Structures are given as C-alpha cells and as structure tokens.
Structure 1
C-alpha cells in the first residue's frame, strides 16, 4: 500500500515567524512535503490569533525566497471577491511556476462581517454581497477556476511576421452566475503549468461542497475528506488516506512543527520529491477545459498594417 504524503498547516503566528527567519525559510524549502497551507486558521473554524499575515502576501514572499516548497493560500469570499482571489491565485502560480494553489473556505476568522443580509463581500461597500454559506464558497471556487482559464496561455504567440502578439479572440468572457455575477475575463493569462489546484476544507459531511457537473474542487481536506488534519502530538487516523496535514497550535513554534514533520517523514509518511508543480506532486488530473462556445472578449486580431 502506498504511504500517505505529508503536508503542514500554518496559523497566523507561524506565518509571521516563518517569514521573519531566513533559516526557517531554507529549512521549509528543503523539507520533502507535499504542500503547506498558509493561514489554515482563517477557514477551519479556529478563533483568530493575536497576529497574522495575508496568506497571499506570504505566498509572494515564499515564491521569491524559495525554490521547491509548495503551498496553498487560504482565502474566503467573506473578505475577497472571487475576481480578486483569482488574480492572486494566478499571479502566485506564475511566480512559483505552479507550486501554489488555493484553499477556499466559507468564513475568514480574521475578516469582519458585512451587512446581515449579505455578509460575504458586502462588507466592502462596493456592491451587493452574498450569503455566507457553503454555496457561496463553492461559487467562488468555480469563479476562480474559470477566470484562471479565461485567457489561454498558448494564445500568446509573439508572431513577428504578422505583428500579432496574442490571439486575443481566444480570450473569453466567463459569464459566471450564482452567488457572484462575473463577466470576465481575468486580466492575466493562465499559468504555463495550467489552472491552479483548488482545495476545500470539510471537518464534517455537512461541510462538504455541493456536487454538480462542474466541480472545481481538486482536493478535500479535513476529517470528511481524503486528507485529514491532525494536531501536532496526535496520531494519524486509522485506515487509508491519501495524505495528512500536520497542524501546530498558535502557541507551538514552526521549529517544533518542522521537527515533528521530519519524524513523520522518517516513519510512516512518504517524502514528496522537491520542486515541480503542486498538481504534479499530488498526481491530480488537469481540470476540464472551458466550453468552446463561450463568447470571445475581443475580435480576431489582424496583422499589423506596417508589416
């Protein structure tokens, strides 16, 4: 039987500790982990800690300061509109060459709630919000997936003979409905490594995402998923599981978590080869392409008149 992989979960104080210490960053980059969740306490129901950092900002730091480590940024539509989440996810995938992805949650422990009838995104006061529930989070994940695919990477051709840099007619409107209405497209091309991994956290069956024919979720973490989350000092659950997330409490140090990870990797868990994209490391299939009948955002480009 294949041994499960090991991942880590970092809470707010751990993000501060990790980014302030070059030795810890180097140690993290060298650990043969499947991935690390940045800001897991944002979305798993934990109370907010006294300190934290933006998960996407930490991801940008790791992208520039490391070469091998893979990670998921935790985000929720409670704070961020899906279009903004998609921009961050795509940008990080470009910066890391596919080493990053998204862990979507219903609530963000560090975010204020919006109006009573529209607590998701409505708190920004920039438009109509949405209910703060599983369907809204699922719709946000779906919007991120299609937005990241709306500008195909291979549409960038740089044809010197015609002067056509981009086959702009292949950039499409996503026309996403549901909790959020988005026409699209995203203002960044799909990463060269393809659409980013999108994960979901489910502690119980009631937390599982909806099931439909257009499911954007690649991976479900938590007791109700294929990758359980275990606290530092606890034993993994019995039975078969693809991997496990080892998570420290806010008052436990990053060094303690790394020490425990090294022990687990030496006994019971399988090391994951360093480097490469997160999707490749987890052996996840590529998401389905967008439908071919989506409306083009731009007309077919014409050769430059000076050529």
Structure 2
C-alpha cells in the first residue's frame, strides 16, 4: 500500500478577516489562531487581504497593522504582510506606521499594495488642495512614495557616539521631495523613523495591480494564498490560554530571520537605500 505524498506547506498563508475578528473577540482566540498558523507550515502571514477583493471585503474587520503586532508577539519566528490601499490612507501615514511596526517586530514586516480597499469609503483627496478629478490614486505611485520614504533616513546613520555626543549623522537624512502633479501625491518627507534592519520592509503587489519593482506578487493565479486549516476560533473558549502556543527559545536579535530572509529575498542594494 502506497501513501500519496502530502502537499508542500504554503510559504504564505492568509488569515481571513472573519478569523481575526473571531480570535480578537474570544478569550484565548489569538493563541488558538497562532497554533493554527503554526500548523499550516507557513512562514509568512498575510493580514487584511480580504479587503482588496470586492467579493471578500464584507463583515467585521481589524486594522491589519494592529493584528500583525498582536500575532507577531505570539509568533516570533513568522513574517507578516499587511494589506494597504491608496483609496484608504496617505502613503506617509502608511510608511511611518509600517516601518514602526517593522522595528518592533525586528524586521519581519512588509505590505501588500492593492488598488482599492473595498470595505471602506474612499478618502480620495488631492494632496495639493486643488479640485479632484475623481480619479483614484495610482497604486504604483503610492508604492513609489512608500519605498522612497523608507529610504530617507538610513539606519546606519545612527551611531550613538557618547564621546562626540553625536546620535546620528543628520547630513545623511534627506527629504523625498515627491511631486506627482495635480492629481498625485506631494510628499516632502523625510520620514521620522530610520530605515529597517532588513533594508526596507518587503513591498508586495496584489495580483490585480501593476507595481514596478515589487518584491513579489500575491493573490490570484500568480501566488494563491492558502486557507487556514483547523477548527473555528469560537470552539471551547474557556480552555484556551496563551500557554497553548508552543514557542521556541527566544533567539538573540541578530539570528532572528527577517521577512526578506523568510521569503528568500535579497536585501535592497545599499546604494539604492541611501541614495
């Protein structure tokens, strides 16, 4: 009798918004959800991608960066991709929030850029204050501004030299000075957060948008996201506790894998990051 080979574990697993909402509302739900993610065999978790497709954007939802912070504490060896869209937020706010999260989770964070957040009204307004044409912001420009902001303050410019009293070489911090025209973004910068330990957060594109230079593409036929296996989070909440998550010994910071390492992506060229 032969046994059929098991399917390989997915590299990236998507957590549906309904699962996140149920886990947050149920005692011990986050711990059980973390166990399910570990059981999937995936190394990276995508959060909030339901809202990038009209068919899956209904129901209760959590902020993806807040959910990533919570799961990141429960899953110290996993990477996280959070969904963002230009119809909901300004790239400066996204760049600062995601980079701050990346620092907290030690270089394990990236984004998935979609064309539209179908679960929220559009906040489309021109940055210039000029009358809007009604056209949505281009996801490619949105991603370009994000990446540009992540490169405005090089991490290695921080020296913390007590002898000289120099905290950082501020001459290496530069403005972005992005001007996308009357219907685009105008962002001067720089960002108030230094760049990432992984060079910069991973920038992924959702399958229905064209983002030149994206690190990878998620969703659709290009990179299907596997569903989470296991029981629903509502089962037997009184038996759950944070101790149900099996955690490996906490490694020292230099040995913890970054999201880029988990995905097999190269660190961005230093010249590109600091130029």
Q: Answer whether TM exceeds 0.5 for this pair.
A: yes
| Matching residue of 1:42 | 51
1:177 is the counterpart of 2:179: yes
1:59 is the counterpart of 2:40: no
| Matching residue of 2:14 | 9
8 Å contact kept, 2:140–2:211: yes
Q: Tell me the distance in 1 between the aligned counterparts of 2:106 and 2:73.
A: 11
Q: Tell me the distance in 2 between the aligned counterparts of 1:59 and 1:50.
A: 19
C-alpha change, 1:10 and 1:26, in structure 2 (3 Å) is: closer
Per-residue CA deviations over 1:124-154 (Å, capped at 9, x if unaligned) read x994667326xx1111111111211211111
Normalization by structure 2: what TM-score? 0.76
C-alpha change, 1:113 and 1:26, in structure 2 (3 Å) is: closer
Q: Tell me how far 1:8 sits from its aligned partner.
A: 1.5
C-alpha change, 1:247 and 1:40, in structure 2 (3 Å) is: farther
Match of 1:247 among 202, 214, 227: 227
| Matching residue of 2:263 | 282
Q: Tell me the distance in 2 between the aligned counterparts of 1:59 and 1:292.
A: 25
Gaps of 5+ in 1: 115-119, 230-244, 257-273, 295-307
Match of 2:159 among 157, 160, 170: 157
1:191 is the counterpart of 2:224: no
8 Å contact kept, 1:63–1:92: no
Q: Tell me the distance in 1 between the aligned counterparts of 2:12 and 2:120.
A: 25
| Matching residue of 2:23 | 18
8 Å contact kept, 1:44–1:201: no
Q: Tell me the distance in 2 between the aligned counterparts of 1:51 and 1:208.
A: 25
Q: Tell me how far 1:182 sits from its aligned partner.
A: 0.9
8 Å contact kept, 1:176–1:183: yes
8 Å contact kept, 2:10–2:226: no
1:69 is the counterpart of 2:66: no
Gaps of 5+ in 2: 1-7, 236-254
What secondary structure sits across from 1:220 in the alignment?
strand
| Matching residue of 2:218 | 221
| Matching residue of 1:271 | none
Normalization by structure 1: what TM-score? 0.69
What secondary structure sits across from 1:246 in the alignment?
coil
1:132 is the counterpart of 2:136: yes
Q: Tell me the distance in 2 between the aligned counterparts of 1:34 and 1:66.
A: 10
What secondary structure sits across from 2:112 in the alignment?
strand
1:83 is the counterpart of 2:92: yes
| Matching residue of 1:30 | 38
Q: Tell me the distance in 2 between the aligned counterparts of 1:246 and 1:194.
A: 28
